[in-house]
Amino acid sequence: MSNFFDLDAPIWAWLSELADIMLISIYWWICSLPLITIGASTTSLFYVLGKKVRKESVYITRDYFKSFKDNFKQSIPISIILIIACISSTLYGFMGVDSLLNGNVTGLMKVIIPLAIVFIFETIHISLYVCAVFSRFNMKTYTIFTTSFVLVHRHFLTTIIHTVLLCIGVILFLRAPFLIIIMPGAIVGVMSFFIQPIFTRYIEQQESEENLSQE
């Protein structure tokens, strides 16, 4: 019983992590409310949780809002592009669902429905990678998008894992809506666990190539 009250006990470490996830999720919800700031907000989420995955020193509030402030200006056009893409993919999705429910899968709809599925898939995962890449690298907006597109398809297994995580998140939310308070941090935290090793590999590869070119 005494081990339970020991501050070094695993239970307290888990509770501390849960508190961090809850706090950063609240920050994400608040900072995403204007919608136009969702790019900066999600980038900050990836920034903080990426540092956690890499076992770097993290100060949740300070690091979150530092990233938000530093990336705010460049994030505005990124947010606009992502919002337009998400609205478009959502409309295509509704069109496809409506056709399926009404049994109207004929003619042009046979083409539109598969395209809608692909468009929605690409929009979701490119958006996630855009924010993840933006949180770790200093790049021009065009390069962030092209890099994200390549990563989505080059590391397709990781992309599929992200799809499964998102589906699990939706199912959990439908069953227990109160989980919305930790969902953003929890999902991005797990995603970062798979994304950060990819980034580290590319960084090490680039450093190795630069060292060889200097020899």
- Looking at every residue in the chain, the average pLDDT score rounds to 87
Three-state SS for 72-92 is HHHHHHHHHHHHHHHHHHHHH
Q: What confidence tens digit (pLDDT) does each residue in 172-186 have?
A: 999 999 999 999 999
Q: What confidence tens digit (pLDDT) does each residue in 97-118 have?
A: 777 667 666 666 677 778 888 8
What band does 1 get if pLDDT is binned at 50, 70 and 90? very low
pTM as predicted: 0.87
* Residue 131 pLDDT greater than 90, yes or no: yes
Q: Tokens 């990336």 correspond to what residue? A: 71
Q: What confidence tens digit (pLDDT) does each residue in 138-153 have?
A: 999 999 999 999 999 9
More confident residue, 205 or 23: 23
Domain boundaries, the chain: 2-214
Q: What confidence tens digit (pLDDT) does each residue in 9-66 have?
A: 567 678 888 899 999 999 999 999 989 999 999 999 999 999 999 999 999 999 999 9
More confident residue, 204 or 104: 204
Residue 127 burial (10 A CB sphere; 0-12, 13-18, 19+): buried
CA atoms within 13 A on the CB side of 130: 30
Q: CA 151, CA 10: separation in Å to the nearest integer?
A: 35
* Residue 2 pLDDT greater than 50, yes or no: no
* Residue 78 pLDDT greater than 80, yes or no: yes
**Both structure tokens of 144:** 């962030």
